[in-house]
Structure 1
Amino acid sequence: MSDQPWLTDAQQRVWRQYLNLDRRLQERIERDMQQQSGMPMAYYLILAMLSEARGRSLRMNQLAEILESSQSRTSHAVSRLEEQGWVRRERSPEDGRGQVAVLTDAGWSRVQQLAPGHAGTVKRTMFAGLDDHDLGELSRIFDKISTNLGSAEPPCG
């Protein structure tokens, strides 16, 4: 990379393509999740992250970190999911001070119900038309960008 602070024409084109792609992907995924479930994508991510965690539970601060969200926003979302009976909070068994979000059996059922539709949306919007070579290249490029950010893997998918 040169010391020139400005983007080259090629970099500017790719940057704008990325911004447009990111916005459109997020909008489509959010819209489809709302249509399929009546819930925002952020709520589905909480259920999904809990479903993948050991014991289907995470400390609230860990959950906020994984979601890259504030603790207050995460707490509000968990409260809404508690109202539906999909999540419950418990005192941390480790220290008794912190709170743990736990996916209930009803929450597990909800994740199983919604996951195929979400996966279908991601496949249609992100991966349709890409072959194994394209996926390998995209993964390699994402790894390079993640390395530049100081993190090899994104916190959630």
Structure 2
Amino acid sequence: MTEPRWLNAEERRAWLAVLALTTRLPAQLDSVLQRAAKITLFDYHVLAMLSESEGEVLPMSRLAERTNSSLSRLSHVVKKLQERGWVKRASSAEDARVTVVKLLPPGRELLERVAPEHVESVRQELFDGLDEQDAADLARIGRKIVAHAEPTHWIFQDEA
């Protein structure tokens, strides 16, 4: 049996910081969105990714990719958002085998209403404690980690 590759002191400090960030930040952002609109951060992310897509519509598989989600989790959330009248699920006009999700006007209105408060909470929780170089370093390091795990991740598509 091989000896585990234990973390050195600096790696452990980095890991604990990443762990604190990845647990604390989503919880804080979730709480703001729950108060503002009774939605989760993931709900907001689904709506935001639709709003940023051409025609405000995406195939379920692409939306799952954009939200870093499994299709089963996304399907559950899309069903909930559809019941609230914020999105519509339908067959693709190009390929009936493909299910697409479209952002509806009430969903766009919800985003427009809660986006300022959400972005302010992101700024307060993440960026207000950083200077410009820190933000650039965070983006560089985050992208490097994502590229190592998934070189074809959608965040790199615009760079091709």
TM range (shorter): 0.7 to 0.9
The more displaced of 132-141 and 31-40 is 132-141
Aligned equivalent of 1:51: 51
- Residue 150 of structure 1: CA displacement? 3.4
Aligned equivalent of 2:111: 111
- Residue 56 of structure 1: CA displacement? 0.2
* Conservation of the 8 A alpha-carbon contact between 1:91 and 1:99: yes
- Amino acid paired to 1:9: A
SS in 2 for 1:68: coil
In structure 1, distance between residues paired with 2:125 and 2:9: 27
Q: Percent identity?
A: 37
In structure 1, distance between residues paired with 2:49 and 2:99: 16
Aligned equivalent of 2:11: 11
In structure 2, distance between residues paired with 1:104 and 1:54: 13
The more displaced of 89-98 and 141-150 is 141-150
- Post-superposition CA distance 1:95-151 (Å, at most 9, x none): 122211000111111111111111011000000132212222222222332332233
In structure 2, distance between residues paired with 1:44 and 1:32: 11
- Residue 74 of structure 1: CA displacement? 1.1
In structure 2, distance between residues paired with 1:154 and 1:63: 11
1:68 to 2:65 alignment: no
CA pair 119-152 structure 1, distance change in 2 beyond 3 A: farther
Aligned equivalent of 2:39: 39
- Residue 152 of structure 1: CA displacement? 7.3
TM-score, normalised on structure 1? 0.88
Aligned equivalent of 1:144: 144
In structure 1, distance between residues paired with 2:70 and 2:152: 22
* Conservation of the 8 A alpha-carbon contact between 1:59 and 1:99: yes
- Post-superposition CA distance 1:16-69 (Å, at most 9, x none): 121112211111011111111111111111111110011100111211222222
- Amino acid paired to 2:80: R
Q: Aligned pairs, how many? A: 153
CA pair 26-5 structure 1, distance change in 2 beyond 3 A: same
* Structure 1 gap segments, 5+ residues each: none
1:128 to 2:147 alignment: no
In structure 2, distance between residues paired with 1:80 and 1:72: 13
In structure 2, distance between residues paired with 1:44 and 1:144: 25
1:77 to 2:77 alignment: yes
CA RMSD of aligned residues (A): 1.9
* Structure 2 gap segments, 5+ residues each: 156-160
TM-score, normalised on structure 2? 0.86
* Conservation of the 8 A alpha-carbon contact between 1:61 and 1:71: yes
